[in-house]
Every structure is written in C-alpha cells, then in structure tokens.
Amino acid sequence: MTSFKAYVNAEGKAHMIILQELTMKHLKQQVIQVTRPKKIDEVLLTIVDGDGWQIETDESVIHAFKKDPVYFTIQVQSEDISKMKENEQLTREKEEIPEPLDFKKHWNKFWRKCNVEASKIVEQMIHSNEQGLIVVAYNTLKWKNRKYNISSISNLVNSKENGIKEFGVYCMYVIKRKVVVFEDIHIDGNIYVVDCELQCKGSVNITTQLFVTKNATIDTTLKQSISAIQWNTKIHHDIPVQFQNLDDKGREYLELKLFDESIVCFQQYLQIAIEHFGSNHHYVAIAYNLIGNVYCYQRQYNKTIEFYEKVLQILLNVFGTHCNFVAHLYENLGYTYDAITQYEKAIEYHTKALETRVAIFGANHTDVAFSYDKLGEIYQLKGEHNKAIGYYEKSLQIKLEIFGFNYKDVADSFWTLGLEFERLGNYKTACEYFERAWKVYNTLLGEWSFRTLQTKWKQKILINEL
C-alpha cells in the first residue's frame, strides 16, 4: 500500500507524519494525533504548505504532495482565541503598519544582522534612559579612494573597543551623547536616533532609513532630505530578532547538512513574515530565498529555480528593477543555471545582475566587479578564454581603483588572469600576472603561505616553457 511522508511544524517543533490517503480529513487526523491538542472539540486547525498556501481541500492536499519533501506549518487554536485574533487582525488592518527595515539597496545577511544588533542596542538604551545614536553603514574604510568622510563617525564613538563592530561589509557605530553633531558626511545605510538631539552642519546625507524614538530631536535640514520613521518595538525589534534567531538556527542546521531541520526553520520564518506583513513583502522574499538556498545545497536545482523565481517576482512587485536585491536574485538564478550547465541562461541572468548594479552603483563598485568575475567564470567554463579575460580585466580595473595594489582580491584577479593566459598558451603574459600576484600575496600573507608559494611555483614552471 502506498504511503506518503510529510513534516509538520507546530509551535516550533517538527513532527513526521505518514498518510495512507491524500485527503483533508486524513491529514487533519494525523496532524491532531502528533500535536495532541488538549481540547480537540474546540480546536480550529489551519494547515499551510511550504509555499505559504493554506490547505483546505483534498485537491490542495494532493497538490502539496507533488513536491518532495513535503512541509506543513500548523496553527492550533481554540475558537475563542481564533475570534480574538480575527478582531486583532481587523484592528491591525485599520492601523498603519510602520515601515520595517528596508532591503532595496542593502539586504544581505550582514545588513540584516547588523541592523538587528542595532535594534537590540536601541531597546537597551531606551530601558536604561540613555541618549545617543547608532549608525549602520556600508564600510568603505578599506577603500583607497573614499568619496565620503565616514571615518569621522568613529571619532564620535565613546569606546572604540565596544562602540564599533564589523558585520561583513557593514559597520555599526554606537555613539552615546545628548547632542550629536554630523558635519559633511555621507552615510550609506541607517541611523537610529535614541532620545538625543542630532544636529547637522554642511552636507549630511543618509541613503536608506532614519529611525527615531519618541524624545529624539532631528535637525530640520535633515528632515528635508529623509523622512523619519517612528520607532516601533514590535516591528523594528521583536519581529526582526525572531527572524534573525530562525535565520541563525537554519544556517547552523545547513552547515551540519540537516536539510529538513533547516527548511523547518525557514518555513517558520516564512509563516511569521506572511502573518505580519502579507505574502507580497520583502521579508517573505528573504524566507523564500533561504529555502531556495537549502535546495541549492541539496542540488535540487529545479526546486531552487522555483523558489528563486518566487523571490524575484515579489521583489520586482515591491521594489521594481532598480534594486540590489533583484540583482542578487538574477545572480542566484545565474549560479543555478551554471550548475546545470545551461551557460546561455546563466550568462543572461548574470548580465542582468551586472546591468542592474551599474544602474544602482555606477561603474566603480565592488558588486559590479563581482558580476564581471562571474561572467568571466562562465565564459572560461565555455572555453571562450578571450571573452573571459575581457571580463576579468574589467573586474581587476575596478578593484585597483577602489582598493589599490596591495589587496587580496586584487591578487586573486592577477592569479585568475594568469591562469587564463596560461590556457591560451601566452606564457609570457601569464608569468607577468603571476609575478604581480606573488608580490601581493608575499606582502599580505607572507613568503611561506600556500598562495605565495603556489604563484612562485607557477612562474618557474612557465619560465621553462618560454
């Protein structure tokens, strides 16, 4: 007799169920059996599949089991609680939901983590009656030619040890003062103003969001360039912290190759996002993206593409094409088509990612360089080495402009170009690039590092070929 296996997530716990028939009645029976509610007669059962669709009919049960593995999220409530929640939902719909964390320009795991940590500090400062502000900004301190005076923020920090933290490509600065003065500064990110006065001199620009608590005072000139968002503990702290905990837990399971457990975490993330923000929201897109990543790790590429396309559709609806998160989804789809050797589709999506990033950031940006590298890799896999070299050289030029010569990413580009010219049989040019790579690796990593020795060995081999 055929049986059907599924995983059920209820109140943070995962259960496995086995169905003998694909009917709504049988599914409910199995779910009630494993979750064991106290008063079955008073229970109202809501079952949601892995895509966020509510399961209500036999047809929807059959449709859910077309995927493998099958995940359900359930809610078990008494009728009284259900009615109360319906009333709360109606009240919420009448109220204006505050603007949550924005993902149009910045969106990645470091951006989310950095802002969650900032939100925790905001709440701590509020409860301790402290004043000041927190800055979350794209970190350009390692750039050779910094256009903006972001380094001046660090001079305002009370304690360099505790007041500055790095999260990938982002920095968080904590400034505790009654009055904070910014002068001629561009902050590519967010500011959280906690019951202090923020004064501005000269040109002060914030690219993304300005959060303010009840007793904060903002310079009138700054208000003309950016709208202040009133701090809301639930939307700006409680829910993002909940998301971050599920994100961290899901990634831990992923590292352990516990894929089902990882998906359960991200399904919880998805359900919470839909409950609070609706199905067409960027937090929902994050959840779908995380689930897609798990399927990618499992090499279930058709499912990966399915979830990435869901994310892309939401982002295009919410942000339009001029969005870095959209560029990343093009990139994710490019990776996936690359993995199944559909190189033309991969090139199509990586080209879209490149064009989107150039439109957002301009020609000289690290993300633009990364897109050039990805296109170079695909052309290299296709055996079109001259085209690959063209893209790698464009990437190198951007990196040199931003970081200067002595930077590991620059050395990696020298190394990659050396390999490409070696493949073409142009050993002289290959040696020149390996020599440049060796100089940077030797300076940054030391003469006995693997990379330094490897580039030296490459040079010796090719010199014998000349």
User: Cα separation of 140 and 68, whole Å?
Assistant: 44
What's the number of CA atoms in the CB half-sphere (13 Å) around residue 351? 8
Q: pLDDT (tens digit, 9 = 90+) per residue, 272-283?
A: 999 999 999 999
Q: To the nearest whole percent, how much of the chain has pLDDT over 90?
A: 71
Average pLDDT value for the chain: 89
Q: How many CA atoms lie within 13 A of 415 on its CB side?
A: 19
Mean pLDDT of 315-319: 96
For residue 236, is pLDDT > 50? yes
**Residue 311 is inside which H or E element, if any?**
helix 301-319
Domains in the chain: boundaries: 4-94, 109-231, 255-463
| pLDDT tens track for 325-383 | 999 999 999 999 999 999 999 999 999 999 999 999 999 999 999 999 999 999 999 99
pLDDT above 60: residue 146: no
**Cα angle: 303, vertex 5, 31; to 5 degrees:** 110
Cα distances from 281 to residues 23, 119, 230, in angstroms, run: 31, 20, 20
Q: Please state, in angstroms and rounded to a whole number, the distance separating the CA atoms of residues 128 and 205.
A: 29
Angle in degrees, CA 421, 424, 427, rounded to 5:
55
- 255-463: CATH number: 1.25.40.10
The matching CATH number, chosen from 1.10.260.40, 3.40.50.300, 3.40.50.620, 3.10.20.90, for 4-94 is 3.10.20.90
Cα(423)–Cα(429) distance, integer angstroms: 11
Residue type, 330: Y
Per residue in 26-64, pLDDT (tens digit) is 888 888 887 776 544 445 557 877 766 778 887 778 888
Residue 39 has a pLDDT of: 46
- Burial pattern 183-217, b for ≥16 Cβ within 10 A else e, equals eebbbbbbbbbbbbbbbbeeebebebbbbbbeebe
pTM attached to this predicted model: 0.79
Percent of the chain, pLDDT > 70? 88
Q: Give the span between the Cα atoms of 240 and 259, in whole angstroms.
A: 23
**Each residue's pLDDT tens digit, 328-338:** 999 999 999 99
Q: What pLDDT was estimated at residue 193?
A: 98
For residue 23, the one-letter residue type is T
Which value, to the nearest 10 degrees, does the dihedral of the CA atoms of residues 134, 138, 139, 143 take? -150
Q: Are 284 and 274 in contact (CB under 8 A)?
A: yes
Q: Which residues pair with 373 in a beta bridge?
A: none
Q: What is the pLDDT of residue 141?
A: 59
Distance between CA atoms of 432 and 426, rounded to whole angstroms?
Answer: 10
**Residue type (1 letter), 317:** N
CB 176 within 8 A of CB 159: no
How many CA atoms within 13 Å lie on the side-chain side of 419? 14
Residue 248 tokens, joined: 């961290």
Backbone angles phi, psi at 149, to 5 degrees: -90, 55
DSSP β-bridge partners for residue 76: 45
CA distance 236 to 116: 8
Give yes or no for residue 103 having a pLDDT over 90: yes
Distance, CA of 441 to CA of 448 (rounded, Å): 10
Lowest mean pLDDT among 95-109, 126-140, 282-296, 352-366: 95-109
Residue with tokens 């001029």: 322
First to last CA, the chain: 70
pLDDT at 179 over 50: yes
